[in-house]
Structure 1
Amino acid sequence: MAFAALSALAATTVFTAPADATVFENRISVRQDAHIGDDDTVTLSGTYVCEDPSPVGVQIATALAQDGTRLGTTSKGEVICDGREHEWQSTASMRFTKGIHAGEARAEARLEVVRMGSGLMPRAIDTVAQDERTVELFDHR
């Protein structure tokens, strides 16, 4: 009986977080305007906030879809997980994706945690925040 009471008390202690416990907050947003540059690249941008709970890699994966064409973009710069809001920007060449044009498009951005395996390949890529919205794509060529 005493063991059961002690076990219940221990479980309560383990599962009750203190009021000032750290909660990892991760979020990402896509700006409502995107751009086609004179160098035939598409640029998406936005903001993110992350708190990295462990020493693993964090990346931003983005894509733009329009009229059945999907274009993956590459985020520029290092993702800094310090709990503050940061700007991000990603670009992609339209060299092999000619169907992208000015007008409405669907954009998505994902904040991903990359856990590496024993080799060069990631063991797991987990999305910790995502934003998807319709954007206006402006052509500056």
Structure 2
Amino acid sequence: MSKRSIIAAFTMAAAIGSTLLFASPASAANVFRCPGAGSDPGSKCTKVIGIDPGSSLTVRNGPGTNYPRATGPWSSFPNGATVELMCWSTGTPVYSYDIWVRLDIPAAQQHWVSDYYLDTGYVQNVLPHC
């Protein structure tokens, strides 16, 4: 292998490594078009992540733990559940992360969850501010 080939291979490996190392959270996000025939073509969904086995993600009526728990069929979601996203706002920090996401659920009350438990990456690049 020539010196030029070695340098080219090293340069390529360094470029790939730095891209992986410094990739933005949004590039690692798992936000996707919501499945289902009734879904808006522009809708965005993601999965609930990081919930302890046997537990579920509590849904709130506003962007923070100081808001009451939501009631009804959308009051909590298990790990791996798909949720439809509407917009984001700041609220009570969860593990020092203060971004909350409003879920797109057709109901009279608002439904919010901490983005800490959603596979959105940098949600501000994916959703509008509420």
TM-score (norm 1): 0.27
Determine which structure has the larger helix proportion and give its number: 2
Q: Which has the higher strand share?
A: 1
Normalising by the residue count of structure 2, what TM-score does the alignment of the two structures yield? Answer: 0.29
Relative contact order higher in (CA < 8 Å, ≥ 6 apart): 1
